[in-house]
Amino acid sequence: MHLGLPESMRDCEYSQINTRTSTPMEIPYKKKTPKKRKWESFPGRNKFYCNGRIMMARQTGVFYLTLVLILVTCGLFFTFDCPFLALELSPAIPVVGGALFLFVLGTLLRTSFSDPGVLPRATADETADLERQIAPATDRPPRTREVVINGQTVKLKYCFTCKIFRPPRTSHCSLCDNCVERFDHHCPWVGNCVGRRNYRFFYMFILSLSFLTIFIFAFVITHVIIRSHRTGFLNALKDTLLSLTPGATVLEVVVCFFSVWSIVGLSGFHTYLISSNQTTNEDIKGSWSSKRGKDNYNPYSHGNIFTNCCVGMCWSDRLVLTMTHLRQQIGCSGRDDHLPRTSGDSWIVSAFWSLAAA
């Protein structure tokens, strides 16, 4: 009951609380722009697949040739030779061959798809800080610095692309446009650089591929010899040519014969490098050759083959500076961000003092 209120005011009051005609206030919706991940703005010349999980060089044609040669040769061996050899000799032959094939394929893909040890480039703040340090002396950064590792003077070269002084054993790959830690070489056969983080997988790949090539070559020849003992060599050769296997046999023999020499030689060369704790890059340049002087020696060698092999094959990724978490969003901290970013690139140099003994 409205006391003392005129009828017009009562109508106005009811019209203000009428919910049928009221509409909610519209709040403008702002669509969030997803942040880029680190691999999407990676400055090097690399290709990324599977949302940044796979990292390869841009030149991958020879890698696919490697993959096709392995798959085709092994496929022909398991199709045409293994059934006969399993019945005539032992069923363990296809089992051993299959295990070798899977191991070779796994180590190849692990070498090709992983980060070889790319060092992060200096940020704008680090570059500016380095320029402030050297501004009083010169207009350009000094090209080298020197550190002493196990009594041997080692030069750290300045990289004008990455804006850092390269740590010991680091080199800039011109094909991938990255500084790679403990750079060994750029291998087109695996489609990637070979560095600290994937060297042990590369070595296991070429070593196991040597065994697989010898294994296939030996048992293909054994297959032909067994048939020749039964019907004579000429009849066995005639039966082979009249069957579906001549092309397979010839292809297997040719591929294995011409591959085994280079693969076994490469395995032996890298066995020598591991036993002396050297890299291909250092061996080609003759960095620790006695020809440079009597006092020139390899400061990274531990003095015995066993320790050098353990260091080369059992190096822990926890001690590697290059785990950059490329799948993280830009602005998020990764493993490379836990290192102290002090003066210019000194975080790299100071961190490597603790690793120099290795």
Residue 161 maps to a domain: no
Phi, psi of 129 (to 5 degrees): -65, -40
Mean pLDDT of 251-259: 88
Give the C-alpha separation, 248 to 74, whole Å: 10
Question: Mean pLDDT over all residues of the chain?
Answer: 78
Mean pLDDT of 180-209: 94
Worst-scoring range by mean pLDDT, 15-29, 129-143, 301-315, 328-342? 328-342
Q: Residue 73 pLDDT > 70, yes or no?
A: yes
Is 187 annotated as catalytic?
yes
- 251 is in which domain, residue-wise? 38-117+181-336
pLDDT of residue 150: 83
Phi, psi of 208 (to 5 degrees): -70, -35
Worst-scoring range by mean pLDDT, 50-54, 66-70, 216-220, 227-231? 227-231
Residue 215 maps to a domain: yes
Residues contacting 127, CB < 8 A, separation 6+: 163, 344
Q: Residue 228 pLDDT > 80, yes or no?
A: no
Per-residue pLDDT tens over the stretch 134-185:
655 555 656 778 888 888 888 888 888 888 888 999 999 999 999 999 999 9
Q: Residue 358 pLDDT > 50, yes or no?
A: no
Q: What is the total count of domains within the chain? A: 1
Mean pLDDT of 22-44: 66
Residue 353 maps to a domain: no
Q: Residue 246 pLDDT > 80, yes or no?
A: no
Residue 272 maps to a domain: yes
pTM of the model: 0.77
Per-residue pLDDT tens over the stretch 89-108:
889 999 999 999 999 999 99
Highest mean pLDDT, choosing among 209-223, 243-257, 339-353 = 209-223
Worst-scoring range by mean pLDDT, 78-87, 103-112, 276-285, 349-358? 349-358
pLDDT band per the 50, 70, 90 thresholds, residue 227: confident
Highest mean pLDDT, choosing among 170-179, 298-307, 337-346 = 170-179
Q: Residue 214 pLDDT > 50, yes or no?
A: yes
Q: Residue 328 pLDDT > 80, yes or no?
A: no
Residue 269 maps to a domain: yes
Residue 221 maps to a domain: yes
Q: Which residue has the higher pLDDT, 77 or 140?
A: 77
Q: Which residue has the higher pLDDT, 61 or 7?
A: 61
pLDDT of residue 356: 45
Q: Calculate the CA 236 to chain-centre distance.
A: 46
Residue 71 maps to a domain: yes
pLDDT band per the 50, 70, 90 thresholds, residue 355: very low
Residue 249 maps to a domain: yes
pLDDT of residue 229: 74
Which of the following is catalytic: 74, 82, 179, 187? 187
